Amino acid sequence: MKRINTKGPETSNKGRVVKPVAIQGYEGSFHQVAARIFHGNEVEILPCATFVDLIKEASNKKNTQGGVMAIENSIAGSIMPNYNLLQKSDLFVAGEVYLQINQNLLVNPGVRLEDIKEVHSHPMALQQCLGFLNKYSWKLIETEDTALSAKHIHQRNSKHIAAIASELAAELFDLNMIAPRIHDVKDNYTRFLVLAQHEVEVANANKASINFHTDHSQGSLAKVLTIIAKEGINLSKLQSFPIAGSKFNYGFHADLEFDDIHHFQQVKKKIASATKYIRVLGVYKKGKYNS
């Protein structure tokens, strides 16, 4: 079975220290799948139990080269705490990954559907697959992580327990996908942000993420949106979040899509003149949808 480094920096054959990428979750998680899509299949990972830990480790230049963090889902919507974590950090957005979330029923080799008595997985994964699961009289057990459930049934050589997890988890833990893609809604995508510890210059960049605050006077947000619209910039995401310590004042996260980086730089100056605060989180290349 292929093992993944989860202990931190290692030295490559050429003597160069290769630092891992921090992710939320465990080996075989969808975060790891997203990290592989962006960085390549050989990328090392540093699993983190929470998103707070992910941001902390992704910011640690001694331990990691950055991180990969889920930010929104096409069904569940924005992951609000993660916008706040990103805004408070010193990290930059270097890219994004749109990953189709395919849930699979995994078992140890030789286990048949009729052998299964329990199915273990994260509550969200179980909910996403109820159309399939309700066809059987299996006991559904909620766990903290999809991939960790897969790892446990492998370690325990379970003959009557199945897990719902990713195809990567099946590969890493030598499990069979006895029923692939069992989720109810097939077009279920999660958007992941690739986080870097410094600004990254990306060739052919056509997307940017920014944070800004207005003065909260009447029409102040409309002024910013009008600038964006008139300049022909596509506003693909606008997310408000409360400003800590204020009395119901809000900041905004915006994702902007454009054809020319120089045009974006000009628009950024116009937005800055209409706001109290602006921070460019990253300028990067728009992600593709991965199944």
Q: Is the pTM of this model over 0.85?
A: yes
Same domain, 85 and 113: no
Residue 168, class by beta-carbon neighbours within 10 Å (0-12 exposed, 13-18 middle, 19+ buried)?
buried
Residues 87 and 226 in one domain: no
Kindly report the CATH number assigned to the domain that includes residue 111: 3.40.190.10
pLDDT of residue 79: 95
Q: For the segment 96-133, what is each residue's pLDDT rounded down to a tens digit?
A: 999 999 999 999 999 999 999 999 999 999 999 999 99
For the chain, percent helix, then strand, then coil, each to nearest 5?
25, 30, 40
What is the DSSP track for 81-99? Answer: HHHHHHHHSS-EEEEEEEE
279: containing domain: 207-290
Query: Does 21 map to a domain?
Result: yes
Residue 249 has pLDDT above 60, yes or no: yes
Count of beta carbons in the 10 Å neighbourhood of residue 266: 12
pLDDT bin (cut points 50, 70, 90) of residue 247 is confident
> Distance between CA atoms of 60 and 84, rounded to whole angstroms?
19
- State the Cα angle at 164 between 131 and 157, rounded to 5°: 135
pLDDT at 10 over 50: no
| pLDDT tens sequence across 164-193 | 999 999 999 999 999 999 999 989 999 999
Res. 3: pLDDT tops 80: no
pLDDT of residue 136: 97
Q: Give the 3-state secondary structure of 214-235.
A: CCCCCCHHHHHHHHHHHCCCEE
Nearest-angstrom CA–CA distance, 260 and 266: 10
Helix (H, G, I), strand (E, B) or coil at 148: helix
Determine contact, residues 71/51, Cβ cutoff 8 Å.
Answer: no
Q: Which amino acid is located at 65 in the chain?
A: Q
Q: How far apart are CA 282 and CA 241, in angstroms?
A: 18
Asked if residue 192 and residue 130 are part of one domain, the reply reads no
Structure confidence at residue 4 (pLDDT): 38
How many angstroms separate the CA atoms of 108 and 116, rounded? 11
Average pLDDT, the chain: 93
Specify whether 79 is located in the same domain as 140.
no
Residue 280 or 291, more confident: 280
Predicted local distance difference test score (pLDDT) of residue 8: 43
Sheet hosting strand 161-165, strand order edge to edge: 139-142, 118-121, 161-165, 104-107, 176-179
Q: Are residues 90 and 149 in the same domain?
A: no
Q: Rg of the chain's alpha carbons, rounded to an integer?
A: 21
Residue with the two structure tokens 């993420």: 209
Give the pairing type, strands 92-100 and 189-196.
antiparallel
Is pLDDT at 153 greater than 50 in this prediction? yes
Domain match, 14 and 157 both: no
Q: Does residue 213 form part of some domain?
A: yes
Please state, in angstroms and rounded to a whole number, the distance separating the CA atoms of residues 33 and 265: 33
How many domains does the structure of the chain reveal?
A: 3
Residues 71 and 213 both lie in one domain: no
Whether residue 32 contacts residue 45, with contact meaning beta carbons closer than 8 Å, is answered with yes
